[in-house]
Structure 1
Amino acid sequence: MKQHEVTERLSTIIELSNLGPFYWEKAQEKMFQLFERKDIQGSYSKRTFQRDLKIIRDTYGIDIRCNKRTDLYEKNIEESSSIKKNMLGIFNMVNAFQFSSELEGIVFFDDRKAEGTEHLSKLVKAIKGNSIIRFKHHKGWKKTDQFREVKPLALKEIKYSWYLIGLNEKDELRNFGLDRIFELEFAGRKFTRPDDLNLKSYYDNVFGILNDKNLPVETIHLSFTIEQGNYIKSMPIHPSQEIIEEDEENLLIGLKLKINHELISEILSYGNQVKVIKPESLKKRIVEISNNIVKTNKLNPLKT
């Protein structure tokens, strides 16, 4: 069977599981409908179904198992990988958009593209293998011929951009934008990963990529108009977000974050749809920047 046909089968099972628990017979019925629609020859046995479930579990981290008590198949949320759930979104897009010639005029992508993604495969290999890497990194978009040696620890994706997190030559934790990495290669040496470094907790109270160790974690309250608030509920600003109060006009949320430049830029992006309730220091910074924006973009009076 062709690879795209396997992909179609996996997608069908995942979509079925998203609707809730299902019997094997329902999965088989869906497969027969798929085969007829795509003109795929062959049958679909329970053995093939079990094999597909294993591929879904191993590749996409979605654990679909049979409840022996009810004989229903359902997703095991606790055993499903949170990392691979993001990969599932990519899988769904690839599956939906695989016939690009048929998409002209009906699907429109954002023209902003994540640069440097060609490095991802090599970087994942280096991270998993504890291999030191070297590359040229253009700081501030200024080209350099100097190679950097880095002990790669993790990758982080933020708003169309990928970052490598690693230890520099002085064993200091740094991040490097993949879009500014050039001539990436293995240095031919291994390193020992620090046992006391937990990158997940390192970013627990950070918005974006920059974690200034001198900044305290603060309690932040933001009030949104109900229209913007609905978007904030469907796509939270940060995992620490909690809803404090909601009525017909406003949504009040709380965050536990360091107040860095990236967070301030995010708040400013909501314009007059957001009001900073606390801390007072954040409110003053937002007002100061807003006043500077007004001053910079002040219209010259019309000459009569």
Structure 2
Amino acid sequence: MSSNKNALIRYKTLDKCLKNKYRKYTLEDLIDECSEALFEFEGKESYVSKRTVQLDLQNMRSEKFGYEAPIEVYERKYYRYSDPEYSIHNISVNESDLKAMNNAVQILKQFKDFSMFKEMNGVIQKLEDSIHATSQKSIIHLDKNEQLKGLEHIDILYESIISKKVLKILYKSFTARDSNVYTVHPQLLKEFNNRWFLICLYKQKMYNLALDRMESIEIDEKLKYIDKELDGDEYFKDIVGVTVSESMAPRNIVFFVNSANSPYVKTKPLHSSQEIIAETNEGTLFKICVQINFELERLLLGFGESLIVYKPRKLRLRMEEKFNSGIKNYQNLVIPDDNG
């Protein structure tokens, strides 16, 4: 269980004890209550230290989390709220808080038809009711497509990652003639360019499987799940897209973008490693350090004639080859008759 979730459980437990008018709680009692609460959630012994509970009480008293709880020690050893009506769940919010929450609700509402968020519908409605959210149209519009093929698989994949279950996936890649069953250990879900992928362990190697190529999914209860404990930020840090090579080192990609388009690359970097090497009136020379994969090539090709790859040479030649193939396609173009 994450430390944040542990802290929330402790705060909730301390709040319950401090507002209890019918029992006196010493510091040792509070420690026992927190340890017992964590045991109920985790299912294993979880002792909370004296220092941890003292720090929790200090945080609840402070403005750090907005509680400012009126915690007092009486008879030199018992803890309670000096205001018997106080609870950390009854914190008042100001007009600015309501406005921020209302904006958040408007964004959440855009996901109401998305498979993963269907169970959030009731929560969103409660939020709207509790903060008297306005029925204004959404000002922030997120790029989404609920009709994408494969979205129906997200729920079972998500739950399988959480509950650490091995899956048998009937999968047909774009290059395969027939469907095949993959027995995988699901690790992460990744969205890129409006498509979803499952990052999974298959035959001791990491693979990414597109959700729109999955035909059926079954849980295999017989096999023991292998958890690679992947951190998404770390796992994807050296790439553009979803395709990670375990054997390929990131390379310095040097490319030139003309002056008309370089502002777009400056304000929306192709990768977090992006640097500006030089600028002239004609354009800007950039550098990123990433693995060379299919998604990177697609991204660079998308800039058309406005971008030129300088290094590495192998990537430059491949880009040149693709542009030459594109030119031949247009030179040999035969437009079919349009009777519609």
2:159 corresponds to which residue?
125
Q: In structure 2, the residue corresponding to 1:119 is in which secondary structure?
A: helix
Contact 2:240 2:295 survives alignment (8 Å): yes
Instruction: Tell me the residue number matched to 2:293.
Output: 260
Aligned partner (choices 319, 322, 334) of residue 286 of structure 1: 319
Instruction: Spell out structure 1 runs of 4+ moving beyond 6 A.
Output: 107-112
Deviation for aligned residue 1:141: 6.7
Q: 1:245 to 1:89 in 2, by over 3 A?
A: farther
Matching residue within 183, 204, 210 for 2:237? 204
Q: Distance in 1 between matches of 2:277 and 2:313?
A: 18
Matched, 1:193 2:193: no
What residue number does 1:49 align with? 93
Measure how far apart 1:111 and its partner are. 7.6
Q: Is the 8 A contact 1:135 1:184 kept in 2?
A: yes
Give the deviation of 1:144 after TM superposition. Answer: 4.7
1:161 aligns with 2:195: yes
1:225 aligns with 2:258: yes
Distance 1:192 1:289 in 2: 40
Name the structure 1 match of 2:49: none
TM-score, L = length of structure 1: 0.59
Deviations 1:211-266 (A, max 9, x none): 23443321111111233222222322122222333454412221001222321222
Which amino acid is the alignment partner of residue 239 of structure 1? S
Given the alignment of the two structures, is residue 91 of structure 1 paired with residue 124 of structure 2, yes or no? Answer: no
Of residues 170-179 and 214-223 in structure 1, the stretch that sits farther from structure 2 once superposed is 214-223
CA distance in 2, matches of 1:89, 1:251: 39
Kindly provide the amino acid, as one letter, of the partner of residue 287 in structure 2: G
Q: Distance in 1 between matches of 2:237 and 2:271?
A: 9
- Cα displacement (A) at 1:175: 1.2
SS of equivalent residue, structure 1 residue 263: helix
Q: Hey, what's the Cα distance between the residues in 2 that align with 1:173 and 1:108?
A: 30
- Indicate if the aligned counterparts of 2:170 and 2:181 stay in contact, CA closer than 8 A: yes
For 1:178, the equivalent position in structure 2 comes to 211
Cα offsets for 1:149-200 (capped at 9, x unmatched): 21100011110110001112x22211110011122232225414135x5554
- Unaligned residue ranges in structure 2 (runs of 5+): 1-65, 67-89, 113-123, 125-135, 335-340
Output the amino acid matched with 1:49. V
Q: Which amino acid aligns with 1:177?
A: A
Please give the secondary structure, in 1, of the residue aligned with 2:200. Answer: strand
Q: Distance in 1 between matches of 2:146 and 2:276?
A: 32
- The yes-or-no answer on 1:151 pairing with 2:168 is no
State the SS of the aligned residue for 1:227: coil
Structure 2 CA distance for partners of 1:129 and 1:139, relative to 1, 3 Å: same
Q: Structure 1: 5+ residue runs without aligned partners?
A: 1-23, 25-45, 63-87
SS at match of 1:208: coil
Partner of 1:296: 329
Cα gap change, 1:276 to 1:145, in 2 (>3 Å): closer
Distance 2:167 2:189 in 1: 14
Distance 1:109 1:241, change over 3 A: closer
The structure whose Rg is larger is 2
Residues 1:112 and 1:152: Cα distance change in structure 2 (over 3 Å) = closer
- Separation (CA, whole Å) in 1 of partners of 2:312 and 2:177: 40
Please give the secondary structure, in 2, of the residue aligned with 1:49: coil
TM-score (normalizing by structure 2): 0.53
> Aligned partners of 1:297 and 1:180: how far apart in 2?
31
2:169 to 111, 135, 156: 135
Q: What is residue 310 of structure 2 aligned with on the other side?
A: 277
Query: Which residue number corresponds to residue 50 of structure 2?
Result: none
CA RMSD of aligned residues (A): 3.9
For 2:162 and 2:169, the matched residues in 1 are separated by: 18
- More RCO (CA 8 Å, sep 6+): 1
